Chain A
Amino acid sequence: MSSLDVEEVIETIEMIRMRNLDVRAVTLGINLLDRAHPDPEELARDVREKIVEVAGDLVEVVEEVEDELGVPIVNKRIAVTPCSIVAASAVRKEGREAVLTLAEALDEAAEEVGVDYLGGYTALVYDGFTEADEAVLDTIPEAIEGTERLCASVVVADERYGINMDAVYRTAEAVKETAERTDGHGCARLVALTNAPENTPFMAGAFHGVGQPEACVNVGISGPGVVRAVVEELKDVDFRTLHDEIKRTAFKITRVGELVGRRVAERLGVEFGAVDLSLAPTPEEGDSVAEILEGIGLESCGCPGSTAALHLLMDAVKKGGAAATSRHGGYSEAFIPVSEDAGMARAAEEALTLEKLEAMTAVCSVGIDMVVVPGDTPVETIAGIIADEAAIGVVTGKPTAVRIIPAPGKEPGDEFEMGGLLGRAPVMDVSDYRPTMFRRDGRIPPKFPR
């Protein structure tokens, strides 16, 4: 019918209605450097003003596009220039209070424009600390406790500079204190990053990099449910055929993201940045990356073969997705969070261990994500987990992250409820042996180039 194929129409409807195809996140990046001011109160006021000015129509525009296209768009978010840069002169004048005032202002602005998260309470410390970085790092637990929407990130390592082990340890301390102050829940808004992409739409690690334009829209696609359905249908095909079919599906999913991103950016009058090709799971039935891997051929995600299955999935998603957008960005990998993926959470009671999860992140960015560990896990152990993930990132050149929740009072096997899209997960076992390396100071150097 006028070049529209009925089968394609039905396939699209099936993807959206039955397989949870949606656009996961539309994130508006906003430059705040022009609002830097030594007086914390003035800084806070100017920043709030700018966010409301630039992002005031964001939610309305996204909802308009959602309505027009008939494709659900789940999250609307904002990413801003790292606070450690924006607040540098205010920190010089007022110390840590300056960044806490800014944190409050950002949270208020996020609430006013109606977004669910705002990212950018960020310290870029992979090669050392500035005074303002220290202020941000030291105040993360307090800032998260005092806000509802603010996301914090610490860039602890970079393939070009190595791993700042002091930053790793201090981030682990922040994780621990955040957990204690917020009964674990605040840790969903705190992430340690390596090779941080400056244009990711996904939280908690989104911030607006200094090389980015004044404002831009980045889009995160979704679609584990759609890929899972494809894999389920192709039980008996060879690997190459399976790879090809996943690739085709990734292409279609990404095209939807590209369409939405272009339209939202155009209506907001800002640049369209990148499409993050990541497959982002949800706790919804069937919308699971773990179940895709199991569909490729695992008894339970985390058993031997899981890393190979994940590699096949990622390669196909990236090759298909890259053809569908002229600019991919962010992580562009499968997210393998434990609590946000019901299949992963189930696997954590079966084959999946923390160590296997880490091994899987060697072929897939994003890293140890939304993992719940016992509340009494020592800071050194959390730091060790962050450092290991940073080492994988430094060596592979991929962005990797650690978002870990030491749930107070919880022990291995207990259930921990994060709530909503954050899901629930069993508390995973961690090694009883702890690293003693953090007695040392300084940095682990970068990898020697091949």
Chain B
Amino acid sequence: MTRAVVTVIGADRPGIVAGISSVLAEHNANIEDISQTVLRDLFAMVMLVDLSEADVSVGKLREELQKAGEELGVDVIVQHEDVYRAMHRV
């Protein structure tokens, strides 16, 4: 299963969740989990996204989400779930 972690960082404003999730929906990427928090002075939204049925690669999805993020005035980071699992799980 390919899962990506999508992190959105920036100042809070209406439409961020909608803007990001519409890109995911367009590509049939399923949001499995979503969490918002204010951490180290950053507003952060973290999504776990299942890409097994999606029509894009992680790289392509990153490109599109970053473009959407630019329009929304937020920073979007997309990484493979494996990176987190490797680093933080023994």
Q: How far is the CA of A255 from the CA of B87 in the complex (A)?
A: 5
Q: How far is the CA of A68 from the CA of B5 in the complex (A)?
A: 11
- B contact residues around A10 at 8 Å (CB): 7, 39-40, 42, 44, 46
Interface residues of chain B: helix, strand, loop or mixed (majority):
strand
**Does A210 reach chain B (CB closer than 8 Å)?**
no
**Does B54 reach chain A (CB closer than 8 Å)?**
no
**Does A7 reach chain B (CB closer than 8 Å)?**
yes
Q: How far is the CA of A10 from the CA of B37 in the complex (A)?
A: 10
1/0 contact trace for B63-89 toward A, CB 8 Å? 000000000000001111111101110
Interface residues of chain A: helix, strand, loop or mixed (majority):
helix
Q: A4-B84, A6-B37, A259-B83 are in contact. Are A68 and B7 (CB under 8 A)?
A: no
**Does B32 reach chain A (CB closer than 8 Å)?**
yes
**Does B33 reach chain A (CB closer than 8 Å)?**
yes
1/0 contact trace for B51-69 toward A, CB 8 Å? 0000001110010000000
Q: How far is the CA of A6 from the CA of B39 in the complex (A)?
A: 9
Looking at the assembled complex, report how far the CB atom of A48 sits from the nearest CB atom of chain B, in whole angstroms. Answer: 31
Q: How far is the CA of A12 from the CA of B78 in the complex (A)?
A: 12
1/0 contact trace for A260-288 toward B, CB 8 Å? 00000000000000000000000000000
Task: Report yes or no: A259 in contact with B79, Cβ–Cβ below 8 A.
Answer: no
1/0 contact trace for A1-31 toward B, CB 8 Å? 1101111111011000100000000000000
User: When the two chains form the complex, which single residue of B37, B42, B57, B83 contacts A256, counting CB atoms closer than 8 Å?
Assistant: B83
Q: A17-B77, A67-B57, A68-B59 are in contact. Are A9 and B33 (CB under 8 A)?
A: no
- B contact residues around A6 at 8 Å (CB): 35, 37, 39, 44, 46
Task: Report yes or no: A255 in contact with B86, Cβ–Cβ below 8 A.
Answer: yes
B1-53: which have CB < 8 Å to A? 5, 7, 9, 32-35, 37, 39-40, 42, 44, 46, 48
- B contact residues around A7 at 8 Å (CB): 39
Q: How far is the CA of A54 from the CA of B87 in the complex (A)?
A: 30
Q: How far is the CA of A252 from the CA of B87 in the complex (A)?
A: 5
Q: How far is the CA of A2 from the CA of B40 in the complex (A)?
A: 22
Q: How far is the CA of A5 from the CA of B88 in the complex (A)?
A: 9
User: Which residue on chain B has the smallest CB distance to residue A253?
Assistant: B87
Looking at the assembled complex, report how far the CB atom of B40 sits from the nearest CB atom of chain A, in whole angstroms. Answer: 7
- A contact residues around B79 at 8 Å (CB): 12-13, 69-71
Looking at the assembled complex, report how far the CB atom of A12 sits from the nearest CB atom of chain B, in whole angstroms. Answer: 6
User: When the two chains form the complex, which single residue of A64, A70, A255 contacts B62, counting CB atoms closer than 8 Å?
Assistant: A70
Looking at the assembled complex, report how far the CB atom of B62 sits from the nearest CB atom of chain A, in whole angstroms. Answer: 7
Looking at the assembled complex, report how far the CB atom of B59 sits from the nearest CB atom of chain A, in whole angstroms. Answer: 4
Looking at the assembled complex, report how far the CB atom of A275 sits from the nearest CB atom of chain B, in whole angstroms. Answer: 12
- B contact residues around A13 at 8 Å (CB): 7, 9, 77, 79
Chain A contact residues, CB within 8 Å of chain B: 1-2, 4-10, 12-13, 17, 64, 67-71, 252, 255-256, 258-259
Instruction: List, sorted by A's number, 10 A–B pairs whose CB atoms are closer than 8 Å.
Output: A1-B33, A1-B46, A4-B84, A6-B39, A8-B87, A8-B88, A13-B9, A17-B77, A69-B83, A259-B86
Chain B contact residues, CB within 8 Å of chain A: 5, 7, 9, 32-35, 37, 39-40, 42, 44, 46, 48, 57-59, 62, 77-84, 86-88
